[in-house]
Structures are given as C-alpha cells and as structure tokens.
Amino acid sequence: MSSINVKLRVWRQAGPDVAGKLVDYALTTDSHASFLEMLDQLNRELVNKGEDAIEFDSDCREGICGMCGLVINGVAHGPSDTTTCQLHMRSYKEGDTIAIEPWQATAFPVIKDLVVDRSSFDRIQAAGGYVSVGTGSAPDANAIPIGKAVANEAMDYAQCIGCGACVAACPNASASLFVGAKISQLALMPQGQVERKERALGMVEQMDKEGFGPCSNHGECEAVCPKSIPIKVIANMKREWLKASLT
C-alpha cells in the first residue's frame, strides 16, 4: 500500500434553497484507491467524528452509467478519459489540492452537496427519444439491411450515457451534445423514421424549456465526454430541427 496525503476542497450545500460553499478537508489515502473509494473513506472519517457525510451519486462504478458526475479541479469527470469512478488517486501527487464540485447548471439544480437533479434529461428523452414502431421480439441480425458504416455511426452515437458532463463543461450549460447524440442515433435507423420530424422538434423544444443554454461551438463538451461523442452531432441536430421546422 502506498499512501498519499491530499487536501480536499469539497462543495457542501445542505439543500437546493440554501447557499453552498467549499469546505477544506485533509486526508491520507491509498494511491491505488479509486476517486470514489477516496470519498467513501472521507465519509467514514466524517461519520466517526459525528459530522454529516458528503452526498454524492454513484451506481455501477464501472464507467458505464455516468451517475458519478463530479467537476474535479474545474474539469468534468476530472483528468481521465472516462467517468469519475474510473479515476484513481495515482493521478495525483503528494500534497495536491483537489477541488470537488457538482455539475453547475440552472437545469441541474443541486439537491445536496455533490448531488444534482438531472431529471431534465429524462424529460428531454421523453419528448421524442423513442420509437413507437412495434418491433416485437428481437429480429434476426440481417432482417433489416443496414449498411455497416451507418450501423457503426449509429452505435457511436448510442454510446451517450446522459451523464451531463457536456452541460457541466459548456460555458453556456448547453445540452446540445446529449440531444444531438439521441437525435442523430435514431435518425440513422429505419425504426426511427416514423417520429423523425416530431422527435427533432420535441426534443429541442424541451431542451429550451428546461433552461439549457445555446451551443456556441466552444467544443468543451466533446473534450470531456467519457464516451467520445463527436461535436458533429450538434450539426446533425440543427439540420434535423431545421428540416422538420420547414416541413
């Protein structure tokens, strides 16, 4: 075991209607621990001292679900190419100061500490991110002919896990990368053609209703996306919306 001493500056906020602030903690932890295991350790120490544990989201801890969204030293998900749960303390040096904050966006209100309400993404998805075609049981792989290049592109977009890192990184708190990925994925599939126009109009309209900002092509969303969703999906989204609006 290799120990490392770090200074933590953690966002503490008792609820959505009270002001939050960064609180300093000192911690000695295992350099091989994951970032979330480090937070688990900090919480054990806080509880043992009779203090409130730090609330943060996590689920699979395997880089799959995206629940573990944190802004670490100003970077969504921290210095890694995947989600926060796959970040390890060996990425830091002895004596480093690590600032840990929640996603900061009007459409992602803080519930407590590092936990935010991301149900706005659910409402956007419900506004059109589905197909109504009765598909029955899974068809044979070759039942619907789809070119390999098209299928591969659709799968690339389908990898979006809706973690919200794109929103947290964008200076406008735009959800365009998330919405663009969902619209682009289904626009490529034959099953997605029935609601294609309604989907583009509905999801973009709901995105605006939720209070997300506009895209101004900073590219920060693409840079922090743990699934490497390309920024071109935003152009796809705008193209789909424009065609649907005109017809």
- Identify the pLDDT of residue 142: 65
Given a cut of 70, is residue 125 above it in pLDDT?
A: yes
Query: Cα 110–51–163 angle (5° rounding)?
Result: 30
- Identify the pLDDT of residue 59: 95
For the four alpha carbons of 99, 102, 103 and 109, in that order, the dihedral sign comes to negative
Q: What value does the mean pLDDT take over residues 156-160?
A: 96
Given a cut of 90, is residue 80 above it in pLDDT?
A: no
Given a cut of 80, is residue 84 above it in pLDDT?
A: yes
Query: Cα 164–113–165 angle (5° rounding)?
Result: 15
User: CATH 3.10.20.30: which residues of the chain?
Assistant: 3-111
Q: How many residues does the chain have?
A: 247
- Summary mean pLDDT of the chain: 95
CATH number of 3-111: 3.10.20.30
Which of 109-118, 131-140, 183-192 comes out lowest in average pLDDT?
Answer: 131-140
To the nearest whole percent, how much of the chain has pLDDT over 70? 97
User: Between helices 196-209 and 176-188, what is the axis angle to 10°?
Assistant: 170
- Identify the pLDDT of residue 79: 93
pLDDT in tens, 187-233: 999 889 999 999 999 999 999 999 999 999 999 999 999 999 999 99
Closest CA to 186 of 143, 243, 132: 132
- Identify the pLDDT of residue 135: 63
Provide, for the chain, the percentages of residues in helix, strand and coil under a 3-state DSSP scheme, each rounded to the nearest 5.
Answer: 40, 15, 45
pLDDT in tens, 132-143: 877 667 666 667
pLDDT in tens, 52-61: 999 999 999 9
- Would strands 97-101 and 21-30 be described as parallel, antiparallel, or unpaired? unpaired
Given a cut of 80, is residue 144 above it in pLDDT?
A: no
Query: Do residues 179 and 207 touch, judged by C-beta distance below 8 A?
Result: yes
pTM: 0.93
User: CATH 1.10.1060.10: which residues of the chain?
Assistant: 119-246
- Identify the pLDDT of residue 235: 97
Q: pLDDT-based confidence at 1, cuts 50/70/90?
A: low
To the nearest whole percent, how much of the chain has pLDDT over 90? 89
- Identify the pLDDT of residue 137: 75
The CATH fold assigned to 119-246 is Fumarate Reductase Iron-sulfur Protein; Chain B, domain 2 (1.10.1060)
Q: pLDDT-based confidence at 124, cuts 50/70/90?
A: very high
